[in-house]
Amino acid sequence: MERKNHPRGTRNSRREMKKNVFSKKITFISILTISIILICGGVYATYAMQHKPKEASELEDNSYYEQKEAALLTKIRESQKHEELESTEQEKTDGLIQTLTYEPIASDSIPQLLATKTELTTLMASIEKDSPKETAIKLVGHIKMLKINENVVGYQPVVDIYTWNYNAEDWYKKTELGQNTAFMNQKTKQPLTLQDIFMSESNILAVQQVIEQKLLSESPDGNAIIDSILNMPKISLDGTSFTYHPDAISLGLPENPTGKKEIMLDYKEIAGYVNPEFVDPASIKEVLPKPLDPNKKYISLTFDDGPNPETTPRLLDILKEKGVKATFFMLGQNVVKHEALVKRVAEEGHEVASHSYSHPQLTGVDAQRVKDEVQKTDKAIYHAIGKLPTDFRPPYGAVNKDVAKIIGKPIIQWSVDSQDWQSHNAQAIIKRIDETAYNDTIVLMHDIHPETVDAVATVIDRLRGEGYEILPSNDLLGKKAKPLHMYYGSKDERPVQ
């Protein structure tokens, strides 16, 4: 068969045609792609133009902004008119930042006004410095009056910050508060003092006990610092710095091993020692002890001079069987020897209190000996149970004002003396208490005498038969006994003379 041959020129022309078709396709796709990009870009540009944030420079031509600004300023000024503190306005504008400062007119009625105004000025300057310059902002500074109760008001620097939100086209508000508030005694029209809050030296000494225990409890090793804590200078009504809060108080501390310069106490921790007229009533409402029922009879059983390993355990067994809680006034020298027994007393719900270390008559020894007798016992009891004793019974009941001040604890005396130390006879002890017990009194006994332990079960039964409810002395006294005072019962409190 004869093979046909195509001319070379024909083959080349076909190749050229294919190239032209391909080029046209490429050109078409490119034009289409560019068109799509241009269309999308135009749509996006239109959207962006419609939704872009308004620049600060546009605010002058924005009537809507002007309306919102006028409404805000009217609201601010109307609000200030209704504040309890009448004030005058000072206005300043720097670019887009406008400041409105309201200064009280009756400045004489505000304690520490200069310091409060200085803090307000400093706070406003700091906020203005940190504010963006391209954003419309209103800074409103004023001194707010805080009414805690009828007797206490506070004055606090406040800055309201209004920032214009360009997207939302509205003002956004936040508030900055000054760190310091000046509180005033409404009765005296003077700055609030520790005298207002604690009323007396005896109350501030009671607070000292709470502080000592708190510092020890918060320490990783209370036994390592207890000497320094017990020897820490006492806080005072006129020499202690403080920061008042409606529900708590921060007290400045002398130099101490914890390194703390101040301590915060909730009023509920010291409810029995604060003047309720000068704190937020809600802060102590739930913790104030309920008064004893006037229609009931109460009595407290107290035991001195222990613990004794021969007699105290048997006494504890009887008290546990009878469901009675008592108060044990312990000698430090016996605590050191019988720590496990002291711990048992505390764990079974009895009160552990101090009766000095070695039982001297404290009014007959020098001040250093008194201090040693108290502190050595405090340390011994703390080492045994992790708590300092809060109450003290002086040996022989002997105390005077100087001794009481060194002791720094409530002095718990007695009104019914069982005379067990004299009779050493169970029946005589029972008879004595039968004949001398009366309502709201404290009974003195000694857990070192076997005859006393022999008598206790009958004493409890007969007291209950007479209608008495038996309480530890701390509960009988409403958990608010205070230093420099002696207590013979819940209705017999006497200042130490």
From the candidates 196, 304, 378, 440, which is the catalytic residue? 304
Q: How far apart are CA 180 and CA 115, in angstroms?
A: 9
Degrees (nearest 5) of the Cα angle 281, 284, 286?
110
Residue 13: both structure tokens together: 């022309």
Q: How far apart are CA 31 and CA 36, in angstroms?
A: 9
CB 429 within 8 A of CB 455: yes
C-alpha of 391 from chain center = 24
Taking the CA atoms of residue 334, residue 338, residue 344 and residue 349 in that order, the dihedral angle to the nearest 10 degrees is 10
Interacting residues of 66 by C-beta distance below 8 A, sequence separation 6+: none
Amino acid (one-letter) located at 483? P
Cis peptide before 291 (omega within 30 of 0): no
Q: 449 an active-site residue?
A: no
Among candidate residues 497, 288, 287, 298, the one with its CA nearest the CA of residue 411? 497
Q: 446 an active-site residue?
A: yes
- Beta strand 485-489 with 411-412: parallel, antiparallel or unpaired? parallel
Tokens 């024909």, located at residue: 10
Q: Half-sphere exposure (CA, 13 Å, Cβ side) for 235?
A: 28
From the candidates 338, 446, 449, 485, which is the catalytic residue? 446
Q: Which residues form the catalytic set?
A: 304, 446
